[in-house]
Amino acid sequence: MARVDDLPTTAIGTPGASPVLVPASRYTDPAFASLEHERLWPRVWQIACTVDHVSSPGDVFELRCGWLSAIVVRGEDGELRAFQNVCRHRGNSLCVGASTARTELRCPFHRWTWDLQGALVEVPSRRGFGHLDDDELGLVPVAVDTWGPLVFVNVDADAMPLADWLEGVPDDAAWARLDEFRGEVTTRSPVRANWKVVADGFSETYHIQGLHREMLASVDDVHAPQHLWSRHGVSYQRYGVPSPRAGRDVDDRAIWDSFVLTQGGRLGPEHVAGSPMPPVPEGWTVRDVMAQLLRDRQAAVGANMRDLDTEQIMGLSQYNLFPNATVLVWGEMINVILSRPGPTPDEAEMVTFLLMRHHRDAPRTCPADLDVPAGEELGWILNQDTSVLESMQRGLHQPGLDHLTLSSEECRIVHMHRNLEEWLDISPSELRGG
């Protein structure tokens, strides 16, 4: 697995002289949310979908972020384009959700129509408008680009290139050969919390000891070094080994039981809580055995992980992309977790993508898109993560809580807030300490 040079040995790194204090109002104040809608979301790169959602000519996918709506389109010429999702006549949305085999983008209200390149091609009862300049009434373009299997958009058509926006992240993840991954499932869930509450929950390992204690025997959350670029951050975590917080007497069976309880589905449907631990050959560790099981399972579907060692297969690179994306890169899969603002500061949408490694020439098929109501099954770990979101938001409204008190172990959250201040033009800084 790639590593950034000169990383600290622990998630804590080098602590500051004092905690960093972040105003709690950033999570509850309608005025702050309005500032985000005005100055943040129309200017930043966001993950919209996977390449598999828009792999064939005529495929269309809608990204909705607060009031913003953009449509990603695969043209008949094979090019990927994106537009603001708005009819140039009266402002109706052209598309909702995803669709396939489109040859045009037609407004359902009055049937104004554009081709897949965004050019106006039909205006019913055109004579009544007098002179219309078709060139001035094309769809409003949105910047679009890809990193591996992920499609990004930026409503600011003059934004910096995506490659510059992502900084060192693509090089850091190059070992994983992201082009071999294919989208399998997308979920959307309403959340009764601010979008930053959702993002924060996937920006630190500090909560494992509290919320995910079943994992402590199979992940080292302490020696999980972090690195920050100017906008983004990453945490490197080792699975198949115990946390120092689990104590000194953690044997192979305890490691195996913890892993199959919380992540057994990665190894195969037969590996569930209580399943027997395979033999550990001489010179191997239980972690090596898990890595081989993952290699074998992927080989059965034509995916090649023979050249990936145990460290790469059993490690996690958790990238936090400003402002609202977490991209978890494992040996055999990628999980993407997105937090998008809702209509009020107390509402958000959590979107997840599951991508699995395939043969690099495997065909692309559209992922299954699922709406998952609040509180329904998302998986062992995600269920625990989402179980505290509403109570977090309630706590943030309490009049006695002026600030969040953050440690150096939560540096990726602090980093997000420092970037947020830059994009919202908050000066001087409202953060204190550190």
- What is the predicted pLDDT for the residue at 255? 97
Q: Are residues 124 and 83 in the same domain?
A: yes
Q: Is residue 257 part of a domain?
A: no
- Whole-number average pLDDT of the chain: 95
Q: What is the pLDDT of residues 202-255, one digit of tens each?
A: 999 999 999 999 999 999 999 999 999 999 999 999 999 999 999 888 999 999
In this structure, is residue 185 part of a structural domain? Answer: yes
- Within this chain, do residues 79 and 126 fall inside the same structural domain, yes or no? yes
In 3D space, the residue among 166, 233, 164 whose CA is nearest the CA of residue 204 turns out to be 233
- Which structural domain, as residue segments, surrounds residue 82? 46-165
97 and 244 in a single domain? The answer is no
Mean pLDDT for the stretch of residues 54-59: 97
What are the tens digits of pLDDT across the range 114-156?
A: 999 999 999 999 999 999 999 999 999 999 999 999 999 999 9
219 and 180, same structural domain?
yes
Is the pLDDT at 62 greater than 80, yes or no? yes
Count structural domains, the chain: 2
Q: Is the pLDDT of residue 3 over 60?
A: no
- Domain endpoint, select from 165, 191, 206: 165
- Distance between CA atoms of 104 and 236, rounded to whole angstroms? 45
Structure tokens of 103? 């040859």
Query: Are 136 and 60 in the same domain?
Result: yes
Looking at the structure, tell me whether residues 324 and 422 fall in a common domain. yes
Residue 405 in domain: yes
Percent of the chain with pLDDT over 90: 88
275 falls within a domain: no
In three state form, how does the secondary structure of the chain look? CCCCCCCCCCCCCCCCCCCEEEEHHHHCCHHHHHHHHHHCCCCCCEEEEEHHHHCCCCCEEEEEECCEEEEEEECCCCCEEEEECCCCCCCCCCCCCEECCCCCEECCCCCCEECCCCCEEECCCHHHHCCCCHHHHCCCEEEEEEECCEEEEECCCCCCCHHHHCCCHHHHCHHHCHHHEEEEEEEEEEECCCHHHHHHHCCCCCCHHHHCHHHCCCEECCCCCEEECCCCEEEEEEECCCCHHHCCCCCHHHHHHHHHHHHHHHCCCCCCCCCCCCCCCCCCCHHHHHHHHHHHHHHCCCCCCCCCCHHHHCEEEEEEECCCEEEEECCCEEEEEEEEECCCCCCEEEEEEEEEECCCCCCCCCCEEEECCCCCCCCHHHHHHHHCHHHHHHHHCCCCCCEEEECHHHHHHHHHHHHHHHHHCCCCCCCEEC
In a domain, 286, yes or no: no
Cβ density class 266-292: b for 16+ within 10 Å, e for less: bbeeebeeeeebeeeeeeebbbbbbbb
Is the separation of the CB atoms in 297 and 269 below 8 Å? no
Residues 418, 416: Cα–Cα separation, whole Å:
5
Query: Is residue 191 domain-shared with residue 337, that is, in the same domain?
Result: yes
For residue 61, give the nearest of 168, 146, 174, 162 by alpha carbon.
146
Q: 32-41, 264-273, 370-379: which range is least confident on average?
A: 370-379
Angle formed by the axes of helices 252-263 and 380-387, nearest 10°: 70
**Average pLDDT of 84-105?**
95
Positive or negative CA dihedral for 360, 227, 202, 207?
positive
Q: Are 36 and 119 within one domain? A: no
Structural domain contains residue 63 = yes
CATH number for position 101: 2.102.10.10
Which residues make Cβ contacts (< 8 Å) with residue 375, sequence separation at least 6? none
Say how many C-beta atoms besides its own lie within 10 A of residue 158's C-beta: 8
Give the domain-ending residue among 165, 188, 207: 165
Name the domain boundary from 100, 132, 165: 165
The reply to whether 182 and 226 lie within a common domain is yes
Both 109 and 227 in one domain: the answer is no
pLDDT(1) > 60: no
327/428 same-domain check = yes
What pLDDT does residue 273 have? 82
307 and 365 within one domain = yes
Q: What is the pLDDT of residues 4-54, one digit of tens each?
A: 456 778 899 888 899 999 999 999 999 999 999 999 999 999 999 999 999
Q: Is residue 222 part of a domain?
A: yes
- pLDDT value of position 5: 52
Residue 411 belongs to some domain of the structure: yes
pLDDT, tens only, 303-356: 999 999 999 999 999 999 999 999 999 999 999 999 999 999 999 999 999 999
Nearest to 263 by CA among 275, 249, 251: 275
CA-CA-CA-CA torsion for 424, 426, 429, 432, nearest 10 degrees? -70
CA distance 318 to 233: 8
| Distance separating alpha carbons of residues 265 and 109, to the nearest angstrom | 46
Residue 402 has pLDDT above 90, yes or no: yes
